[in-house]
Structures are given as C-alpha cells and as structure tokens.
Chain A
Amino acid sequence: MITTTYRSGSSWLHRISAGKKLFFLLVVSTLLLMLEQVNAQLLVLLLILIVMKTAKLLTISFYHSIRTFIWFIVIVAAYSIWVQGWTTAIVASARMLSLILLAMTVSMTTSIAALMSVLEVVVKPLDRLGMVNSERIALTFGITLRMIPELSLQWQEIREAQIARGVGQNVLVCIVPMIVRTLKRAQEIADAVDARY
C-alpha cells in the first residue's frame, strides 16, 4: 500500500475546497517571491506556522516528510551566507521554508480525489474545444496507477533472474529486459482496451 501526501482529518483547512486552496497557494507564493524585507518574511513564516498549528498539522509524520527539505534549505542557506551575506540568506531561507510549508499544507489537507476534480475543471473546456479527450486522460491515469505495482513486481522478477545468472547487483543490466517486456505488454493491453470500447 502506498501512502500519499494526504493526511485525512476534519480541520477547517480540510473543509475548504481544493480549488480555493490552490488559488490561495498560487497568490501567496507569487507575493512571497516578490517580498524582500527580512521582518515581513519572518512574520509570514510565523503566521503560516500558527495556521498549521490551529489545523493540528504539526505532527511527527509531518516532521518526517519535511526533513529532506530542511536539509536542503540548510545547505542552500550556508552557501548563500558564504557568497551573498546574511540578509539575503535569511530572506531566501525564510521564503523557501514558507513556500514549502504552504504547499505541504495544501497537499496534506486535500485528498487526491479533490485535486483530481480540480484537474477535471481545467480539462473540461479543452475537451469541449476538442483539444483533449477527458475520458482517454482518465483511462491513461487508470492504467498507470494500475501498472505501477505490476511493473515493480516485474522489476523484482528480472532482478532476481539476473542475480541468479550471476551478473551481480548491477541494476543497469535489468533495464533492457524491463523495457522490452513492458513494450510488449503495451500491445496486449491495447488489444484489451480496443476489445472493450
């Protein structure tokens, strides 16, 4: 079972519609990228943390998922202090942290189904213009999601076979048979799709 970024819950942030949250994210991100004052950046960061606290988002699993980003920010900040001085470094790191926290807040409080429905709203007008076919997009999504575990299994099989043949731990020798088998499978699946429609 794969765990997505969504954390189910019933906070006020969970109840806001996905479209509104995405729009808010877009607007605030743009504003943050234009904001250059140290105090203002730090204030925004504090506000975001308070908002997250009220929605009970600052949990252990949250710290777990933000760890890699924190490391990245620390490294960039150190580099930035060295080449550009303290002020720029603080503004940039506070901004990065704010942006990442905001985006994570949206991801954590909005289910994949809700985000998909926003995607649908975007795709609909294009479908009416005949530029895309939303049914086929849904089909493609469905096949991909269905095939990820299948292909992981196939990858494991090929790896075990290669190790049994004595080619060792090198993953690269598995890629050619992996792709060839996948491409052959595509034809079979396409036949099945054609038979149904």
Chain B
Amino acid sequence: MKSVDIVLVALMAALIVVLALVPPIPVPAMPVPVTLQTLGVMLTGLILGPRRAALAVLLYVTMALLGIPVLPGARAGLAVLIGPTGGFLLGMIPGAMVVGWLGYNASQKRGLERSAGWQIAYGWIASVVGGVGIVYLIGVPWMTWVTGLDFWKATIAVGVFLPGDLVKAVIAAVIAYQVKRSIRV
C-alpha cells in the first residue's frame, strides 16, 4: 500500500467516527432512532473499494474495542463486542469489504458510464448485500448465541432496523455517486 492509501484508510475511519457521533436522527414512524454509523460503513466500501474499506472499518472497530468512545452515543469497550449486538459490529468489517467488492467499480462497468440511475442502483445493491446482508448474517446468529433467543425470533426483533438500513443504502449510493463524480480515489 502506498502512503496515500494508508492516509485514506485513516481518514475514512475518522470520518466513520464523526458520522457515528452525529446525534441520532428521530424519524417519524420509525421505532428506533437512526444513526449514521452504518451509512459511514457503506460509504467507505463504495468509495475506497474492498481492501482499503475493510482496513478502515477494522481500524474503527479496533478503536471501539480499545475503549475509545467512537460508537454511536459515545460508547466503547469490550462489553460492546461481548454484548448482544457485538456481531453487528464485527460484521461491518466483511460487510464493508463486500460493499466495496460489488460497488466500487460501478462507474467502470460497460454501459453504465453515462447512466446516473444505473450507477446509483448498482451502489444500492452493493450496500444492501454488504452493508445489510452480510452485517445481519453475522449479527443475528451472534445475537441468538448471546441472548438465547431462537434464530427467527431474533430476526423479527432486529427487523425494526431493516427499513432504516435499506433507506441508508439508498442515501449511501446517491452520496457515493456524487462524490465519485468530483473525486476518485
């Protein structure tokens, strides 16, 4: 990795921290407040690509585990990993990687160069598969393991976050498209 890649990894990790610490946005008709942490993870994948994104999120998660208050609500520490939502935190690392793997090159795909709509749709699919699918795939079994709930009941319990996450994937795709139009890294 070149120096610029290292700096990009460091800065995107810092950016996820800043986004995660933005106070939760209450959304009408949503039972849970929306934080920008997952948005940060999806954006990191779309903008940095698989390798650098995975490293940036790994750095973010490591800081949280060391006890630096970088998670939403300025939380941190090993308790977060060991608690019921620990899998969602760990899942963000492969999640960001998959988002990058599927979505980083959307604008280079043949036939997609000119179509904003297709590029955004592509980014959305990447964000949903990596930022929602992979994260839940690791998060839900982890939760069943710690809480003793069975798999489907845990899935229903975390289902309240799903609409918000799908909307965040749309926002991530639009933002990544706009960013990549002015700067590519």
| A contact residues vs B (CB 8 Å cutoff) | 2-6, 25, 29, 33, 65, 68-69, 72, 76, 79-80, 83-84, 88-89, 91-92, 95-96, 99-104, 106-108, 110, 112, 115-116, 119, 136, 139-141, 143-145, 147-148, 150-152, 155, 171-172, 175-176, 178-180, 182-187, 189-190, 193-194, 197
| B contact residues vs A (CB 8 Å cutoff) | 1-4, 6-15, 17-19, 21-22, 25, 36, 39, 43, 47, 55, 59, 62-63, 65-70, 73-85, 145-150, 153, 157, 171, 175, 178-179, 182-183, 185
Minimum CB–CB distance for B109 against chain A, Å: 22
Question: What separation, in Å, do the CA atoms of A141 and B10 have in the docked complex?
Answer: 7
Question: What separation, in Å, do the CA atoms of A4 and B75 have in the docked complex?
Answer: 9
Question: What separation, in Å, do the CA atoms of A99 and B85 have in the docked complex?
Answer: 12
Measured between beta carbons, the chain B residues less than 8 angstroms from A171 are 22, 25, 36
**A2 and B68 contact, Cβ closer than 8 Å, known pairs A96-B146, A143-B7, A171-B36:** yes
Cross-chain contact B69 with A5 (CB below 8 angstroms): yes
Question: What separation, in Å, do the CA atoms of A5 and B38 have in the docked complex?
Answer: 23
Report how many A-B pairs have Cβ atoms within 8 Å. Answer: 188
Cross-chain contact B15 with A182 (CB below 8 angstroms): yes
Interface centre among A2, A89, A179, A184 (most CB of B within 10 A): A179
Name the residue on B nearest A193 (C-beta).
B3
Measured between beta carbons, the chain A residues less than 8 angstroms from B179 are 176, 179-180, 183
Measured between beta carbons, the chain B residues less than 8 angstroms from A182 are 11-12, 15
Cross-chain contact A187 with B4 (CB below 8 angstroms): yes
Name the residue on A nearest B62 (C-beta).
A119
Cross-chain contact A103 with B77 (CB below 8 angstroms): yes
Interface centre among B3, B55, B76 (most CB of A within 10 A): B3
Measured between beta carbons, the chain A residues less than 8 angstroms from B68 are 2, 4, 112, 145
**Can you show 11 pairs from A to B with CB atoms below 8 A apart?**
A33-B145, A68-B73, A69-B79, A106-B78, A139-B6, A140-B55, A145-B63, A151-B15, A155-B22, A186-B11, A193-B6
